[in-house]
Amino acid sequence: MARPKTDPLAPVIVQVGNVRLRVRPWKHPSGRNYWRATYKGSDGRERDITRADREDAIRAAGDKAREIHNGIVDLTTLPQDKIRMIRAFLDLSPTWADLERWGAERASHKISIAAAIERFIAHKLSESADGETKHIKLTRSDLLLMAENVGPETPLARVRASALAEWLDDLEVGPKRKKDYRAACVALWRWAWSQDLIVSTGPKTEPEKLPVPQVRKKDFVRVLSVEELRFLFLHVRREFLPWLALSAFSGIRSGEIRMWGKAPLDWSMVKLDRRKIDLPPSLSKTGRRKLIPISDTLAEWLKELGPPAAGEVIPEPAFNEETSRLGLLLDAHFQREEGWPSNCLRHSFGSNRLAQKPDIAALAIEMDNSPAIIKAHYLEVRSEEEAASYFGVLPGTFGDKTPNYLIFSK
């Protein structure tokens, strides 16, 4: 006959989570009565909890079930080498964040820096409607320089902010370029994190822990002098003369004339009879159609060029080859070490155009910029007289000097 459920000698099941221990009556060989629960230790061997009192046995079994469920290890059951390892680990005073990071890194893919860069650039190319843009090229170049310094085969997950900081500190470049290098690394690390190739236990990836280099804002934009502009027209190669004239005397951007991986500006879009450049959305930086006015000076240069009804305006982007060449010539002639001043043609046009026609709103439309930018960059940079000299750089005004485009004409 079965015992009633209230029988004080009935076994008791103690359960914590998925861990179940059975507390049952047990008789010692001496004849004394005890209560016992059996469990498996970390070494796989069975061990017993034995108590004389039933309630004591239930409590002890509950404690043991909780230990097993929570993963608490009985150190006395571990081999000596494991115990020494635990002691050495505890001497490091680890935090839970350290444990989570270490565990995640061991579980993450061991992708190298070089492999991560290759996959990241492939991802950027797959997202780019314009193919390999100038920005993607520069990002790849910056990341490969970082990889060369840190070690291409180093696992990306093992690179720390300190190593990146040391690399940036050793670069002989200005704050602007260091900021660009840091930005390229941030983009790589954040992409890798989104792909579960690395982990971050905090809100920032390793490069994001680095301070952002402070780039001091220039007091003024770099504007070409009339002498510098005349020098450029004397020395520009014939095939790039349209780029120089369009950039110096209209609100079009160099990248809208021609950029790598993008369709070029076509002569059919330059409407000299209407005095407009009809720039389609596919070429416009802002993705909107623009009707850019052709100034009187630009009109004279277009007549000098005698362009065809259709065809690419220039054979390739002027940046970097032609601008680098002209920058070296400027340095040698004007005895300076500046190279090609960034955006100098656009800044020169904006400054002189605003002095020639002081209408901020109109120039904002012409240059496809905000009035605030026009005012901050170009207002009162050039006088009306200086603007007249600037727009007076016309074909046939070079005296006894013969421009390259006439010497090496097609």
32 or 94: which carries more pLDDT confidence?
Answer: 32
Amino acid present at 139: T
* CATH number of the structural domain spanning residue 278: 1.10.443.10
Report CA torsion sign: 290, 295, 301, 302: positive
Residue 177 covered by a domain? yes
Q: Residues 275-319: pLDDT tens digits?
A: 999 999 999 988 889 999 999 999 999 999 999 999 999 999 998
> Residue 148 belongs to what domain range?
113-209
- The contacts of residue 137 (CB under 8 Å, 6+ apart) are 260
pTM of the model: 0.54
Report the percentage of the chain scoring pLDDT > 90: 56
406 or 294: which carries more pLDDT confidence?
Answer: 294
169 or 354: which carries more pLDDT confidence?
Answer: 354
Per-residue burial over 9-29, b if 16 or more Cβ lie within 10 Å, else e, is eeeeebebeebebebbebeee
Residue 402 covered by a domain? yes
Write the DSSP assignment of 355-379 as a string of letters. Answer: HHS--HHHHHHHHT--HHHHHHHHT
30 and 151 in a single domain? The answer is: no
Whether pLDDT at 339 is above 60: yes
364 and 231 in a single domain? The answer is: yes
Whether pLDDT at 271 is above 60: yes
User: How many structural domains compose the chain?
Assistant: 3
Residue 217 covered by a domain? no
293 and 173 in a single domain? The answer is: no
Asked whether 225 and 347 are in contact (CB, 8 A), the reply is no
Residue 2 covered by a domain? no
pLDDT band at 320 (very low <50, low <70, confident <90, very high): confident
Residue 384 confidence (pLDDT)? 95
354 and 390 in a single domain? The answer is: yes
Residue 224 confidence (pLDDT)? 96
Whether pLDDT at 113 is above 90: yes
- For the chain, what percentages of helix, strand and coil (3-state, to nearest 5) are there? 50, 10, 40
Q: Residues 132-187: pLDDT tens digits?
A: 888 899 999 999 999 998 889 989 988 889 889 989 988 888 888 899 999 999 99
269 and 367 in a single domain? The answer is: yes
Residue 349 covered by a domain? yes
Residue 393 covered by a domain? yes
Residue 88 covered by a domain? no
Residue 192 covered by a domain? yes
Residue 239 confidence (pLDDT)? 95
* CATH number of the structural domain spanning residue 189: 1.10.150.130
Residue 22 confidence (pLDDT)? 92
pLDDT band at 59 (very low <50, low <70, confident <90, very high): very high
